[in-house]
Chain A
Amino acid sequence: VKILSTIVALLGIGLFAGCSSAPPPVYDYDQLADFSKYRSFDWLPVQESSDAYLTDRLKRAVVMNLTARGYLQGGAPPTLFISVKAGGADAPEALVLTMVDEDTKRRLWEGSMGFVPPHGASPNDMDKACQNAV
Chain B
Amino acid sequence: MAVTAIVVSVNNRNYHYDNGVYYEESTNDSGQKGYVAIPAPIGAKVPSLPEGYETAKAGSNTYYYYGGVFYTKDTDGKYVVVQGPVGAVVKNMPDGAKEEYHNDILYYNYNGVYFQPKSANGATQFQVVEHP
Residues on A lying within 8 angstroms of B by beta carbon are: 30, 42-45, 47-48, 77-78, 81, 83, 100, 102, 104-107
The docked-state distance in angstroms from the alpha carbon of A48 to that of B97 is: 9
Which of B95, B108, B116 is A48 in contact with, Cβ under 8 Å?
B95
**Interfacial chain A residues near B124, Cβ < 8 Å:** 42-44, 78, 81
Q: Is the CB of A78 within 8 A of B95?
A: no
The docked-state distance in angstroms from the alpha carbon of A103 to that of B12 is: 44
**Interfacial chain B residues near A45, Cβ < 8 Å:** 93, 97, 99, 108
Residues of chain B in range 92-132 having any CB-CB distance to chain A below 8 Å: 93, 95-99, 101, 104-108, 116-119, 122, 124
Residues on B lying within 8 angstroms of A by beta carbon are: 93, 95-99, 101, 104-108, 116-119, 122, 124
Q: Which residue of A has the minimal Cβ distance to B115? A: A45
Q: Is the CB of A104 within 8 A of B105?
A: yes
Q: Which residue of A has the minimal Cβ distance to B123? A: A42
**Interfacial chain A residues near B93, Cβ < 8 Å:** 45
> A47-B98, A83-B99, A104-B105 are known contacts; what are 4 more A-B pairs with Cβ within 8 Å?
A47-B99, A77-B122, A105-B105, A107-B101
Which of B97, B105, B119 is A77 in contact with, Cβ under 8 Å?
B119
**Interfacial chain A residues near B107, Cβ < 8 Å:** 105
Q: Is the CB of A44 within 8 A of B117?
A: yes
